[in-house]
Amino acid sequence: MSREQDRFMRKLEKNPVVECNKIQNKYYPELFKKFSEVKDPRNLSYIEYSVKTMLGTLYYKCIGGISSMQEMTRQFNDEKIAENLYSFMEESRKEYLPHGVTENEFLERLDPLELEKIQKDIAYSMIRRKTFNDARVMGKWQIIIDATELDEGYRKKNDYYLSRCYNRGETDEFMKYHRSVLEAKLYLGNNLVCSIASEPIENSEKYINQSEEKVKQDCESKAFIRLAGKIKKRFPRLPIVITADGLYVSQKVIQTCRDNGWDYIIRYKEGCATTIAQEYQALPEKEKIGTEIEYQNGIVFQKEDVNLIYYREKKIWADGKEKITESAWITNITITKNNARKIVKAGRNRWKIENQGFNRQKHWQGNIGHACSWNEQAQKNHYLMEQIADFIKQLYEYYYLKKNKIKKLQKNISPELLASFGRQLTKTEDIKAELHSAVLN
């Protein structure tokens, strides 16, 4: 695309936040209605801002990629921004938007289950659309699971933080504290991933009230059981295939998937379960598809039979050198010549949670690593709102920017949305958009 064409395409987007609002109204028009239905934890005698305004302001903080509450207060202390955001939320205009301190006091009281209901409803709404049916793996919805660290430092912000000892037993031994989350993303194709459930990896009340020697800290494997319980409770009849990395090659994970009636495709690295590789290598013959794919069904792993598939990818580097990378997955799905490539493709989708999930939320579209509050409950609510807002931005990027061939660097999308919050709205930039007419399943 020439510079002239690029300039012309950019002119089509007069006001980024208005276009983002139109996408939100098209794909999830119930958002602000859901905000208004959230159970308000505050004393009714002292309420200045409605719960819809409180959550709507936090939502636009996330849309604008603002990392801290102090910065939100500074950015939103503008008459035109306040006027526009109240218009977007369809709320009666006040002189100011909620202060960051007021927001945090509200989030400290708000039950995270209230935002989890919206998280679930967004995922359910996307599942019901025929728009995303092609993303299914052999008729089942792919859920990608992985953990990420959100905040680390030398100070323990609250009792729920996990600890990590460095240089143990040496004179320069020191401690660092962190919090993490296990995330489940629903893959919808076209690099779109929607948060379907989140589970904090944190010290429990039982751990907090006892010495560190008596109770082990929380970990990903324990959090997986809790996360699986959430998903099953929220979507009891949803056909699911779980995708995860090599950490989840375990009897407990496989048993959980089997008990819930889920399929699984888990990354396998030699060394994490050596008996699988040993039995596979001992086989005199393996099933092959060309030189790329090699597989075998019915390999014994502890008390379960698993199916193992290898994929070799050949790449030619810029300097002409050839590089071969090898990946492997275990699955309960019987591998055949007809479905082998589909299983490989689904297994490779695991990277979507890293790239379209954590990396963009940490470096490009905001900063989920910023605590925003020292309170454990407020931190959970901040994280959940980031998931809600980030998915709307993904829809905006794909269904508006990409469809209209408007090229933007990832790092510029949120700042440009934020910069548009205070622009003068015109009649042609109608805030309300017509609701979608897509047929539901």
3-state secondary structure string, 7-68?
A: HHHHHHCCCHHHHHHHHHHHHCCCHHHHHHHCCCCCCHHHCCCCHHHHHHHHHHHHHCCCCC
Q: Measured between alpha carbons, how far is 133 from 135 in angstroms, rounded to an integer?
A: 5
Q: Measured between alpha carbons, how far is 281 from 321 in angstroms, rounded to an integer?
A: 29
Burial class of residue 205, CB neighbours in 10 A (0-12, 13-18, 19+): exposed
Mean pLDDT, rounded, for 335-352: 92
Q: For position 434, what pLDDT does the model report? A: 42
305 closest CA partner among 285, 326, 335: 335
Inter-helix orientation angle 100-109/376-396, to 10°: 110
346 closest CA partner among 132, 137, 131: 137
Q: For position 433, what pLDDT does the model report? A: 45
pLDDT band of 211, cuts 50, 70, 90: low
Q: For position 439, what pLDDT does the model report? A: 44
Residues with Cβ within 8 Å of 212's Cβ and at least 6 positions away in sequence, in order, are: 163
Query: Which residues on adjacent β-strands are paired with residue 143?
Result: 186, 242
The answer to whether 336 and 374 are in contact (CB under 8 A) is no
| Distinct helix (H) and strand (E) counts, the chain | 16, 10
Taking only the tens place, the pLDDT of each residue in 274-309 is 888 888 888 888 899 988 999 999 999 988 899 999
Q: For position 323, what pLDDT does the model report? A: 83
pLDDT band of 369, cuts 50, 70, 90: confident
Q: For position 273, what pLDDT does the model report? A: 85
Alpha helix locations (H) across 262-408? 274-282, 340-348, 351-352, 376-396
Q: Whole-number mean pLDDT of the chain?
A: 88
Q: For position 303, what pLDDT does the model report? A: 82
pLDDT band of 46, cuts 50, 70, 90: confident
pLDDT band of 1, cuts 50, 70, 90: low
DSSP state of 261: T
Provide the whole-model pTM: 0.89
Q: For position 320, what pLDDT does the model report? A: 73
Q: For position 331, what pLDDT does the model report? A: 96
Mean pLDDT, rounded, for 227-241: 96
For residue 207, which phi and psi values (nearest 5 degrees)? -70, -40
Mean pLDDT, rounded, for 149-175: 88
Q: How far is CA 15 from CA 21, 259, 398, in A?
A: 10, 49, 17
pLDDT band of 438, cuts 50, 70, 90: very low
Where is average pLDDT lowest: 195-199, 316-320, 367-371, 392-396? 316-320
Q: For position 168, what pLDDT does the model report? A: 86
The answer to whether 421 and 85 are in contact (CB under 8 A) is yes
How many other CB atoms are there within 10 angstroms of residue 112's CB atom? Answer: 19
Reply yes or no on whether the pLDDT at 381 is more than 80.
Answer: yes
Reply yes or no on whether the pLDDT at 208 is more than 60.
Answer: no
pLDDT band of 390, cuts 50, 70, 90: very high
Mean pLDDT, rounded, for 113-129: 96
Reply yes or no on whether the pLDDT at 169 is more than 90.
Answer: no
Reply yes or no on whether the pLDDT at 197 is more than 50.
Answer: yes
Percent of the chain's residues with pLDDT above 90? 62
The answer to whether 225 and 250 are in contact (CB under 8 A) is no
pLDDT band of 364, cuts 50, 70, 90: confident
